[in-house]
């Protein structure tokens, strides 16, 4: 359950030998000298014929996928699926593992106002008989699986399995500003065993490092990005602190404690959390979150939203998440969300039981403060304050 995938054959036949007269031709050097181009050629080409015997550094294959910040609540980018590409906006979601988009097979209201994938308009589409069903904390989908080329951040990810929705029940996806979801968690939690997009990229040698990184901009600003295959150090200050994963499904880590003014207000004996770009708020077990809401003075309004005085943004202390011995402070300006109607708490109660206990979700409220690197090669998350 998710909240907010030469063999060369040479034929040898009878050989005949033909004698061909040799004609002495002018060398390339002679031709260049005659046309006054030798110096230009030497300046723009390697002059050491032995260079081909020495290995060169591998190309730094890294791709940036820009994201749009939608009211500090959702971050999505545009991908292309098929040949020629059909464009879709998708959430790049580290809390799930499947790629899916609405399709022409879908009759739900949510498919009436979003882009629809049409397999008949793609020359590279390959159908399957497999089905897929995914339930999120908000919204769900069912559909079929197919293969096609997916364009992500300038990378052509060929033979990528993805879901074509047939149903998208409820109102959440109808009102969503994005079309579908591109999951970036581990294959182990992918519905129907579908290979996630990043795994397919890595398996095809399309990126030079088995990791990706995320920067989420604050205050509805532009500049949010997912970096596939590399890290841009200009997005953070200081050093990346590496946190080993406690489980490899979600990007799950251990939080040591959550404190305010030196007092533990939640997670007193450590707790499990996932780093999730697909969840807007910072979520945790209902009882623990209720305790935090009380500490910061948030109260429920008639719409069920936890509201708070905007002036509290300037008076409340940091809430500190200690992770792997390192403190990650969240200032009140981060955990209090301001909009035209007023201010609301960035914390949300949500019970997510697992074998390792109730999970916390470090969503966009947290990730806006900390540049995050998702390192598949070493099964760890890197965190550093955003620049």
The CA distance from 372 to 322, in Å, is: 16
Give, in order, the Cα–Cα distances in Å from 348 to each of 64, 293, 305, 336, 363.
31, 9, 9, 12, 10
The CA distance from 273 to 285, in Å, is: 11
User: Which residues, in sequence order, are CB contacts of 150 under 8 Å at separation 6+?
Assistant: 79, 80, 81, 99, 156, 157, 160, 162, 197
Helices (H), the chain: 28-34, 38-44, 172-175, 197-203, 286-296, 332-335, 364-367
CA of residue 282 relative to chain centroid, distance? 18
Contact 281, 330 (CB under 8 A): no
Q: Assess whether 179 carries a catalytic annotation.
A: no
DSSP state of 318: P
Q: Assess whether 232 carries a catalytic annotation.
A: no
Please pick, among 148, 179, 256, 276, the residue that the annotation labels catalytic.
276
Please pick, among 93, 256, 364, 375, the residue that the annotation labels catalytic.
93
- Residues taking part in catalysis: 93, 276
């Amino acid at each position: 359950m998710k909240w907010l995938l030469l063999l060369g054959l040479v034929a040898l036949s009878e050989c005949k030998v033909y004698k061909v007269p040799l004609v002495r031709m002018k060398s390339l050097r002679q031709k260049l000298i005659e046309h006054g181009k030798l110096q230009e050629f030497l300046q723009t080409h390697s002059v050491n014929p032995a260079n081909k015997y020495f290995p060169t550094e591998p190309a730094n294959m890294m791709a940036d996928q820009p994201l749009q910040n939608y009211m500090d609540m959702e971050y999505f980018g545009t991908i292309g699926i098929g040949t020629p590409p059909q464009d879709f906006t998708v959430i790049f979601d580290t809390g799930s593992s499947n790629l899916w988009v609405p399709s022409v097979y879908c009759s739900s209201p949510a498919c009436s106002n979003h882009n629809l994938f049409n397999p008949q308009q793609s020359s590279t589409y390959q159908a399957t008989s497999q089905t897929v069903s995914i339930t999120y904390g908000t919204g769900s989908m069912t559909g079929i699986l197919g293969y096609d080329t997916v364009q992500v951040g300038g990378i052509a990810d060929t033979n990528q399995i993805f879901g074509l929705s047939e149903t998208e029940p409820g109102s959440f996806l109808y009102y969503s500003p994005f079309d579908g979801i591109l999951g970036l968690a581990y294959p182990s939690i992918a519905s129907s065993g579908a290979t996630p997009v990043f795994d397919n990229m890595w398996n095809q040698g399309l990126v030079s490092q088995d990791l990706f990184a995320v920067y989420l901009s604050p205050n509805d600003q532009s500049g949010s990005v997912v970096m596939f295959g590399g890290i841009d150090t200009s997005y953070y200050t200081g050093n990346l602190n590496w946190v080993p994963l406690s489980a490899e499904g979600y990007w799950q880590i251990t939080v040591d404690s959550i404190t305010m003014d030196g007092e533990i207000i939640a997670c007193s004996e450590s707790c499990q959390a996932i780093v999730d770009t697909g969840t807007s708020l910072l979520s945790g077990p209902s009882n623990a979150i209720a305790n935090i809401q009380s500490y910061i003075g948030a109260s429920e309004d008639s719409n069920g939203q936890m509201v708070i005085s905007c002036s509290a943004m300037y008076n409340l202390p940091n809430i500190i998440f200690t992770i792997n011995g390192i403190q990650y402070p969240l200032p009140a300006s981060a955990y209090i969300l301001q909009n035209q109607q007023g201010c609301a708490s960035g914390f949300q109660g949500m019970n997510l039981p697992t074998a390792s206990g109730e999970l916390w979700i470090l969503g966009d409220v947290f990730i806006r403060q900390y540049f995050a690197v998702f390192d598949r090669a070493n099964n760890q998350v890197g965190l550093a304050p955003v620049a």
